[in-house]
Amino acid sequence: MSDNSKTTTAVADSVPQQRNGSEAPLMKVSGLTKHFPIKGGFPIRRTVGAVKAVDGVDFEVYPGESLGLVGESGCGKSTTGRLITRLYEPTAGTIEYQGQDISSADRRKLAPIRSEIQMIFQDPYASLNPRQTVGTIISGPMEINGINPPGGREKRVRELLEIVGLNPEHYNRFPHEFSGGQRQRIGVARAIALQPKLIVADEPVSALDVSIQAQVVNLLQEVQREMGIAFVFIAHDLAIVRHFSQRVAVMYLGKIVEIADRDSIYNRPRHPYTHALLSAVPDADIDADKRERIRLAGDVPSPIAPPSGCRFRTRCWKATEKCATEEPPLVRIQGSKEGHLTACHYPEEGTISARTEDVVMDPGLKALENESDISKS
């Protein structure tokens, strides 16, 4: 049995600082919220409820780092990505980019920032205009922003094609003439064309063949390191995030439940949900028979009416009355490293093999058991 007598001890006077040092974050997100209204009624349609897709998240992104955003399908990862690139208007909260609040900035104010924050989408088939040549697609951001690089746009596009591992001679080809992996490389070339400071990559490899995934992840890694671009890397595949991200935020039902550096998340998870997610990922170092499995009970509750208190409590083997009445804040808990924040009243001991009980796993998590199963659940 787990020891439910131990409750969270937030480290006294700890301001939830998300990374050591004095470096200013590139982006600081506070209380970010997106509620999609649900309309109903006849003949007059009015708002009868809301899908609480993102419900008050706080995180920071530092220059040049990769922050992974993980969690089961429907927990709000893509919506968060679309909010911070301002493709969506937030319902509440603030997004500061280089100290400037862009959460309600209009098109004119956003224009200079748009070139600095780019997005790579999951589907390399849907995200490229089939009627445009590769040259037109990649030079698009330069044209929109009125940028004429030395030597002209065509020269720059050919350079970009080379950087992403494509043949510059294919400048005049159309997207359908490329494979899925090559199309995603075109998406990367378009995203880096204006040398952005931040790229939000939303499941950038999950639509690709497993054999191609590593190549595209390696390309993104090169881009991150060599161009010093910060990434918010959204994925449900924890193995890929481990490979790519220095810090990881775990989302559950519109909230961040844990955020920490990669080693702390993967080796000393404190939130039971993180622990459960990790227990479903095959680990080459651990014998399959010995590997502890945590099976979560039930489905993810509806984001229309999330559970009171801790949202994970309906599937958590540690939940008590306190979890139903008090929402645990995202704080540093005793024994955790600086910058390791957890939202749980009964955090884990911090070792991946700390508990042995077996509870029932949600079928959605089964997809994570097979590292090669990258299709979205």
Ligand X SMILES: Nc1ncnc2c1ncn2[C@@H]1O[C@H](COP(=O)(O)OP(=O)(O)OP(=O)(O)O)[C@@H](O)[C@H]1O
Q: Which residues bind ligand X (CB under 6 A)?
A: 36, 51, 53, 71, 73-79, 236, 303, 376
Which strands make up the sheet holding 27-40, listed edge to edge?
46-61, 27-40, 92-97, 100-101
- Cβ closer to ligand X: 26 or 75? 75
Q: Minimum distance between the CB of residue 376 and ligand X, rounded to whole angstroms?
A: 6
Task: Label residue 228 left, alpha or beta by phi (over 0 means left) and psi (-120 to 50 means alpha).
Answer: left
Q: Which is nearer to ligand X, 84 or 157 (CB)?
A: 84
Nearer to ligand X, 79 or 224 (CB): 79
The nearest distance, CB 314 to ligand X, in angstroms, is 16
Contact residues for 43 (Cβ-Cβ < 8 A; gap 6+):
none
Mapped onto helix, strand or coil, the DSSP state of residue 10 is strand
The least distance separating ligand X from the CB of residue 7, rounded to whole angstroms, comes to 29
Question: What's the rounded Cα separation, in Å, for the pair 281 and 367?
Answer: 9
Q: In terms of CB distance, is 78 or 139 closer to ligand X?
A: 78
For ligand X, the closer of residues 235 and 323 by Cβ is 235
Q: Distance between CA atoms of 175 and 132, rounded to whole angstroms?
A: 8
Closest distance to ligand X from the beta carbon of 57 (Å): 11
Residue among 51 and 105 whose Cβ is closer to ligand X? 51
Measured from the CB atom, the residue of 156 and 237 that comes closer to ligand X is 237
CB of 300 to ligand X, least distance (A): 9
Alpha carbon distance 128, 20 (integer Å): 39
Shortest CB 328 distance to ligand X, Å: 21
Closer residue to ligand X in complex, CB, 37/151: 37
Smallest distance, ligand X to C-beta of residue 56, A: 14
DSSP symbols for 110-171 = HHHHHTTEEEE-S-TTTSS-TTS-HHHHHHHHHHHTT---TT-HHHHHHHHHHHTT--GGGG
Distance of CA 291 to the CA centre of its chain: 26
Question: Which CB atom, from 51 or from 194, has the smaller least distance to ligand X?
Answer: 51
Residue 70 backbone phi and psi in degrees, to 5: -125, 165
Distances (CA, A) of 238 to 37, 71, 163, 165: 31, 9, 27, 26
H or E segment at 222?
Answer: helix 210-227
Q: What 3-state class would DSSP assign to 325?
A: helix
What type of residue sits at position 312? F
Q: Which residue has the tokens 């590139």?
A: 26
Please tell me the distance from the alpha carbon of residue 320 to that of residue 8, in angstroms, as a whole number.
13
At closest approach, how far in Å is the CB of 34 from ligand X?
8
φ, ψ dihedrals at 54, nearest 5°: -130, 125
Token pair, residue 280, equals: 């479903």
What angle do helix axes 134-144 and 180-192 make, rounded to 10 degrees?
20
What residues form DSSP beta bridges with 261?
247
CB of 247 to ligand X, least distance (A): 18
Closest contact distance (angstroms) between CB of 253 and ligand X is 9
- Bridging pattern class, strands 247-252 and 66-70: parallel
> What whole-number distance in Å separates Cα of residue 39 and Cα of residue 244?
40
Q: Which lies closer to ligand X via its Cβ, residue 254 or residue 339?
A: 254
